[in-house]
């Protein structure tokens, strides 16, 4: 891996973590609003729909965690000694 490739990869990983943080924050805020609405409603159909929506938020959060993990894994070659 050349120094230029390493720098480019580090820039991409930094972008991924910034994006994941910003997106995660927005997802969390909106999820709280949905959850609040679910607790306040007396409409059973709306409550069921909101439970499904909450599940979708959970899936998005899991995807963000996977994105961060894979970005972290992408840096492993930068720590290895160069191949001969």
Q: What is the pLDDT of residues 40-54, one digit of tens each?
A: 999 999 999 999 999
Say which DSSP state 80 is in: S
Give domain limits for the chain. 3-76
Question: Which numeric CATH code is attached to 3-76?
Answer: 1.20.58
In angstroms, rounded to a whole number, what is the distance separating the alpha carbons of residues 20 and 65? 8
Contacting residues for 45 by C-beta, under 8 A, at least 6 apart: none
Note whether 68 and 20 are within 8 A (CB). yes
Residue 84, pLDDT > 60, answer: no
Residue 36, pLDDT > 70, answer: yes
Integer angstrom CA distances of residue 58 from 8, 37, 38, 42, 80: 31, 17, 15, 23, 35
pLDDT top residue among 84 and 14: 14
């Amino acid at each position: 891996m050349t120094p230029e490739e390493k720098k480019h990869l580090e820039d991409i990983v930094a972008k991924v973590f910034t994006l994941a943080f910003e997106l995660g924050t927005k997802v969390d805020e909106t999820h709280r609003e949905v959850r609040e609405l679910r607790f306040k409603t007396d409409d059973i159909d709306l409550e069921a729909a909101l439970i499904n929506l909450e599940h979708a938020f959970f899936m998005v959060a899991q995807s963000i965690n996977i994105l961060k993990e894979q970005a972290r894994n992408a840096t492993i070659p930068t720590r290895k000694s160069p191949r001969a």
